Amino acid sequence: MPDVRETPLLVIGGGPGGYPAALHAADHGLKVTLVDEGAKLGGVCLNRGCIPSKALLHTAKIIREAHEMAAYGVTFGDPQFDLAKLRDFVQTKVVSKLTGGIGQLTKGRGVDVVKGRAVFTGPNTVEVSGDQPQTIRFQNCIIATGSLPAMPKPWAIGDDRVMDSTGALLLPDVPKKLLVIGGGYIGLEIGSVYAALGSKVTVVEALDRILFMADKDLVDPLERRLKTEFEAIYTNTKVMGLEATKDGIAVKLEGAGVPASLTFDRVLVSVGRRPNSAGLGLDKAGVHVSERGFIPIDKQRRTNVPHIFAIGDVGEEPGLAHKATAEARVAVEAILGEPAEWNPRAIPAVIFTDPEIAWAGVTQQEADKGNIPYEALTFPWAASGRAVSIARTEGRTKMLVDPETKRILGVGIVGAGAGEMIAEGVLAIEMGAVARDVLESIHPHPTLSETVMESAELAYGAATHVGKPRKVAK
Amino acid sequence: MPDVRETPLLVIGGGPGGYPAALHAADHGLKVTLVDEGAKLGGVCLNRGCIPSKALLHTAKIIREAHEMAAYGVTFGDPQFDLAKLRDFVQTKVVSKLTGGIGQLTKGRGVDVVKGRAVFTGPNTVEVSGDQPQTIRFQNCIIATGSLPAMPKPWAIGDDRVMDSTGALLLPDVPKKLLVIGGGYIGLEIGSVYAALGSKVTVVEALDRILFMADKDLVDPLERRLKTEFEAIYTNTKVMGLEATKDGIAVKLEGAGVPASLTFDRVLVSVGRRPNSAGLGLDKAGVHVSERGFIPIDKQRRTNVPHIFAIGDVGEEPGLAHKATAEARVAVEAILGEPAEWNPRAIPAVIFTDPEIAWAGVTQQEADKGNIPYEALTFPWAASGRAVSIARTEGRTKMLVDPETKRILGVGIVGAGAGEMIAEGVLAIEMGAVARDVLESIHPHPTLSETVMESAELAYGAATHVGKPRKVAK
Amino acid sequence: RGAQAARSPSVTPSNGHSSNPQPPAAPSVRMLARKLGVDLTRVHGSGPHGRILLDDLTPFLAPKPSNGVRAA
Ligand SMILES: Cc1cc2nc3c(=O)[nH]c(=O)nc-3n(C[C@H](O)[C@H](O)[C@H](O)COP(=O)(O)OP(=O)(O)OC[C@H]3O[C@@H](n4cnc5c(N)ncnc54)[C@H](O)[C@@H]3O)c2cc1C
Ligand SMILES: Cc1cc2nc3c(=O)[nH]c(=O)nc-3n(C[C@H](O)[C@H](O)[C@H](O)COP(=O)(O)OP(=O)(O)OC[C@H]3O[C@@H](n4cnc5c(N)ncnc54)[C@H](O)[C@@H]3O)c2cc1C
């Protein structure tokens, strides 16, 4: 007969939403129980998402950079790959090291970690199945069960050459020809890795361009580069069917000027993720779920049941690890009775391709749609000393400011290292900075961060390194 | 007989102080004459400083990274160097491209550029010698003549194997053994380049540690790494003499446990820079000069002669390109009659070694010396998912906050990419941000910028990824 | 988000009061203050932690006769 455990706070899910919630609550003296059904804490992000993908992307970047050094008079032999070693690096030296670290952190903070699957049996109880079956009775609960890769039925043909992101990140081999279905960031990131390792990568996207949520002018430089690294990028194209054959996965395509059928050694399906809310017994707890499976929440991340909260991918979009972690703080503070509120002015998004794309605050297409008045100030990296000296002049830095006050509404960057650079943009937006604040903040020379400063300069007429102001008023 | 030219604003020197001053003034409708004696505009920074050094450091970084990929299962052959091609890349594709760009910018803005050496003949006139000899009569003048490498007399033995930074950046060859005299940033940066190309590099520093102006805890990780890449780093050591021999430059050393004499194929003297104010005729203009050769200036960058200004290395320390450019704006605005004032709260400093070191605002050693109360919050990169996934866990991010208000006083970072990351620190300090402002600004995952956020978290007790708060109160 | 009820249990209290002579104000605010000839050390900041905002300088702008709403 299962144990019964009492806990002031139950957290379901040990990903970047759940484990920081547990740690944060413990730091404030709350007794916390954290349940996760995975073999290792860390959720999707650490085990099969952000972290393994970025370790591999780092490898891919260096492979490309070493290759490009030929233009500088430095030539390396063609790289030799030891896939087993690369896998071991990613899984052991990176993933296990980090998930182990989270184990230590939860232990050090006195969080009770229970391994198993939790299912609600009432508004204050869950039943945990698995190695440590038990009933847990909680006063407050945070649901952080995350999301799962979407795998449309017709493509689930039961052949392991058809992979989702989880499978692809395990690097089973380097297929000669890889098809990536879906031109979102996950598909492009993983596609870049395989391309660097030697696969011929084809991307199929149903919409008229890849990365539709990013401003087109930021996607253009990436797309141009990917077109040289990938075999093909087919937009406005639909996958009509997959079939397993001896020679590979035969794929039927439909799109103008696109071959009707192609065969690939492997296929990565990356067409989105769906919230992980089914089978959780939410009805037993009285927690509402939207048609698409998201759990509706308020500004404190509270569900319709006041003592049950939801954070991370299972709650609201965007499905991003740092959003989940930031929500964790809000939910915990709400539980502690503090006046917490979810109201970020800028949630950064980063696409870790090469070049990277990053943005925060209002995007230009959002401003256009929402009739938000703005000036768009774009600084081309060709005018950056740093970009020239690392031969990466394809980048651009764009700032959206209010035409009257010059308050910074949004920042978008495409270029090497954009993902680190966007932090300044987030801070500027959160602080309510105007362009002059950024332009008078001295940026070190020679760095790419100067492009942020110079884009701010454009708000007042001209930037040092741009002859004619490039400004779009709207 | 030389021409006489009249100009509302004369700028002497076309480096990162002078050319932005000229552009900025022109953008505001001032007629500007810019005199520079160099073959190409851009000053030290573009021609023989920041830019060529960073292009070479980028090369060095990729050479090291490619080598380190072996741990990930990716091996390259040993790199082959084509020095002529590398030189051409740096000098043509980078330096000339950028200096040419400045030529275009000055032209586009209608700045009159005069090639030649300007010497004051009175408070409103200079005499220009060179290809375009002439007298220029000005209403206002900005002196931006920069600085020169210091070459102590006894070491100027007239042998071209003894180089200053200018010579070393021309990459005459890759010496088997290179001695770097001076453990400042220029010596260590250039030393790193030669080490990556295959030289055995020895560094001699008279003080008890390298990079004395940076906090020791930020230098430690770099020093540890350099000790594996360099042949030796001798601190507390004096160079007693250089002698040219057939086998190389014989160097006499004095220091505990240091060989009394060693022979090197080349020697780089990098013991500082001195302001370029001699022979300028400043006495004729009535402009004061300090004993060390700096031109004293006020908050508007005005010399003792009200219509003559000085900016950049010839004025105040620190001698940094971005400081010169920021001063340019102040001086020009002062000339335009605006209430400009030099009052930055954070001038960032970056050392572009690998790892990089960067800081802004108050350093810990400055706070100690000045009895400024602070808490030092240090986040070790071993706890950063990004650092682990790129195998660069030696870094650390440190924030100094006011103990009462948690206002951010300083930020210091050592680690890969610190130079880009510091921009956020500068903005935070300039905006008067408190730690909570940074911690509640959502930083994208997984990036190194998260370490800035987590160091801010430590101000309030604990950070998500650090078990026990590491905090030093003072 | 107003959650600045600073919980800082383990902070060693320091003797000094926050002795920073530079009032917390963004560069844009400092510039406007210079333009208006306002000494920022005498301005009350209405932002979080007493940060001086552009709006805090409104009373120093050329007096607009009709609305005397915003006197500090
Ligand atoms: C390939 C890939 C790359 C990505 N890259 C990035 C990136 O670079 N940056 C970024 O911000 N985001 C990235 N993401 C998205 C990111 O992984 C998610 O946004 C993030 O993991 C969501 O965190 P979470 O805490 O909501 O849930 P998850 O990380 O999904 O974790 C949920 C956890 O809950 C557990 N769980 C679920 N149900 C139960 C139950 N009933 N009982 C017990 N345990 C349960 C699961 O086992 C899992 O461990 C990436 C995703 C993928 C797939
Ligand atoms: C190897 C090296 C690396 C460096 N790296 C960095 C770095 O990464 N980041 C950084 O911020 N700083 C760096 N610096 C320092 C940086 O180069 C200087 O701070 C910067 O160049 C100073 O700018 P300036 O405008 O004051 O003068 P300078 O750049 O020195 O330019 C002065 C110009 O004035 C001209 N001139 C002088 N006298 C006369 C005259 N009488 N008549 C006409 N023309 C005259 C000169 O020809 C020259 O072009 C580096 C320096 C060196 C040597």
CATH assignment at residue B323? 3.50.50.60
For residue A436, give the nearest of C2, C3, C31 by CB distance: C31
Residue A215 annotated as lining a ligand binding site: no
Place of tokens 């930083």: B443
Q: Do C27 and A333 touch (CB under 8 A)?
A: no
Q: How does the average pLDDT of chain A come out, rounded?
A: 96
For position B440, which CATH number holds? 3.30.390.30
Q: What is the pLDDT of residues B215-273, one digit of tens each?
A: 999 999 999 999 999 999 999 999 999 999 999 999 999 999 999 999 999 999 999 99
Number of folded domains that form chain B:
3
CA nearest B433 in C: which residue? C24
Specify whether the CB–CB gap between A251 and A267 falls below 8 A: yes
Say if strands A375-380 and A396-401 run parallel, antiparallel, or are unpaired.
antiparallel
Q: Which of A225, A246, A271 is the last residue of a domain?
A: A271
A104 close to B (CB below 8 A):
yes
Which residues of A are identified as catalytic?
445
Residues B16 and B90 in one domain: yes
CB < 8 Å from A in window 142-201 of B: none
Strand locations in B205-247, DSSP E?
Answer: 232-234, 238-245
Confidence category of residue B472, pLDDT binned at 50, 70, 90:
low
Residue A286 pLDDT exceeds 70:
yes
Classify burial at A343, counting beta carbons within 10 Å of its beta carbon; exposed 0-12, middle 13-18, buried 19 or more.
exposed
CB contact under 8 A, B322 and A443: yes
On whether any CB of chain A is under 8 Å from the CB of B214, the answer is: no
Pair (B141, B8) in one structural domain: yes
Contact A75 B76 (CB under 8 A): no
Confidence of residue C67 (pLDDT cuts 50, 70, 90): very low
User: Is residue B464 one of the residues assigned to a domain?
Assistant: no
Q: For residue A74, give every residue at least 6 positions away whose Cβ sits within 8 Å of its Cβ, in sequence order, or none.
A: B59, B62, B63, B79, B80, B81, B82, B86
Nearest to C27 among A333, A340, A437 (CB): A437
Secondary structure of C19-67 in the HEC alphabet? CCCCCCECHHHHHHHHHHCCCHHHCCCCCHHHCECHHHHHHHCCCCCCC
Give the closest residue to A144 by CA, choosing from A283, A270, A35, A246.
A35
Mutate to test the pocket of ligand 1, among A35, A44, A56 (most ligand atoms within 8 A of CB): A44
Average pLDDT value for residue range B367-375 = 97
A-contacting residues of C 7-46, CB under 8 Å? 7, 26-28, 31
pTM metric for this prediction:
0.95
Q: Are residues A15 and A144 in the same domain?
A: yes
Residue B232 lies in a domain: yes
Task: Look up tokens 């954009």; give the residue.
Answer: A418
Query: Are both A356 and A264 inside the same structural domain?
Result: no
A361 is in an annotated binding site: no
**pLDDT band for position A147 (cuts 50, 70, 90):** very high
What does pLDDT average to over chain B?
A: 96
Whether residue A353 lies inside any domain: the answer is: yes
Lateral strand order in the sheet of B471-473: B349-351, B356-361, B408-415, B396-401, B375-380, B471-473
Q: Tens of pLDDT along A49-100?
A: 999 999 999 999 999 999 999 999 999 989 999 999 999 999 999 999 999 9
Distance A446 CA to ligand 1 centre (A): 37
A471 found inside a domain: no
Q: Which residues contact B161 (CB under 8 A, 6 or more apart)?
A: B175, B244, B248, B249, B265, B266, B267
pLDDT of residue A257: 93
- Strand (E) positions, A30-171? 32-36, 74-75, 80-81, 112-115, 117-122, 125-129, 134-143, 147-149, 162-163
Question: Locate tokens 């020169």: which residue?
Answer: B148
Tell whether A265 and A315 lie within a shared domain: no
Q: Is the confidence at residue A299, as pLDDT, over 80?
A: yes
- Average pLDDT in the A330-357 region? 97
* Core vs surface per residue A274-297: b (16+ CB within 10 A) or e: bbbbeebebeebebebeeeebbeb
Please list every residue in chain C whose beta carbon sits closer than 8 Å to the beta carbon of residue A343: 1
Whether residues B13 and B135 fall in one domain = yes
- The answer to whether position B474 is within a domain reads no
Domain-ending residue, one of B298, B315, B336: B336
Tokens 């990089």 appear where?
Answer: B356
Residues making up chain B, counted from first to last:
474
**What residues of A are in contact with residue B23 (Cβ under 8 Å)?**
462, 464
Q: Mean pLDDT, to the nearest integer, of B61-82?
A: 94
> How close C43 comes to chain A (CA, Å)?
19
Stretch B164-185: mean pLDDT: 98
Residue A361 belongs to a domain: yes
Residue B473 lies in a domain: no
Co-location of B371 and B288 in the same domain: no
Is residue B34 domain-shared with residue B79, that is, in the same domain?
A: yes
State pLDDT tens for residues A307-339. Answer: 999 999 999 999 999 999 999 999 999 999 999
Residues A16, A137 share a domain: yes
Containing structural domain, residue B426? 348-459
Do B267 and B206 fall within a single domain?
A: yes
Which chain C positions have a beta carbon within 8 Å of A433's beta carbon? 26, 28
User: Are the C-beta atoms of B146 and B15 separated by less than 8 Å?
Assistant: yes
Residue of B58, B322, B445, B465 with catalytic role: B445
Closest-CA distance of chain B to residue A57, Å:
9
The per-residue pLDDT for B473 is 56
Does any domain span residue B253? yes
CA distances from B178 to B162, B203, B207, B351 (A): 10, 9, 20, 20
Determine which of B464, B468, B470 to mutate to test the interface with A (most A C-beta atoms within 10 Å). Answer: B464
Confidence at A473, pLDDT banded by 50, 70, 90: low
| Domain identity same for B357 and B223 | no
Per-residue pLDDT at B445: 98
pLDDT, tens only, A371-385: 999 999 999 999 999
Can you tell me the mean pLDDT for B413-434?
98
Closest residue to atom 15 of ligand 2, CA basis = B320
pLDDT of C68 strictly over 50 = no
Tokens of A276: 């992980």
Q: Which of the listed residues A336, A364, A383 is the one where a domain comes to its end? A: A336
The per-residue pLDDT for C5 is 29
Cβ(B459)–Cβ(B406) below 8 Å: yes
Predicted pLDDT at A472: 58
In Å, how far are B38, B204, B234 from B252, measured between CA atoms? 36, 11, 13
CA of B203 to the centre of ligand 2 (A): 24
- C37 to chain B: which residues are within 8 Å by CB? 339
Q: Residues near B306 by Cβ (< 8 Å), separated by ≥ 6? A: none
> Nearest ligand, CA of residue A331?
1
Q: What is the pLDDT of residues A236-266, one digit of tens each?
A: 999 999 999 999 999 999 999 999 999 999 9
Q: Is the pLDDT of residue C4 over 60?
A: no
pLDDT band at C59 (very low <50, low <70, confident <90, very high): confident
* Per-residue confidence (pLDDT) for residue B474, from 0 to 100: 59
Tell me which chain C residues have a C-beta less than 8 angstroms from the C-beta of B469.
Answer: 10
Interface test with A, best of C1, C4, C32, C52 (most A CBs within 10 A): C1
For B408, name the nearest residue in chain C, comparing CA atoms only. C24
pLDDT at residue C19 is higher than 90: no
User: Is the domain of B193 the same as that of B264?
Assistant: yes
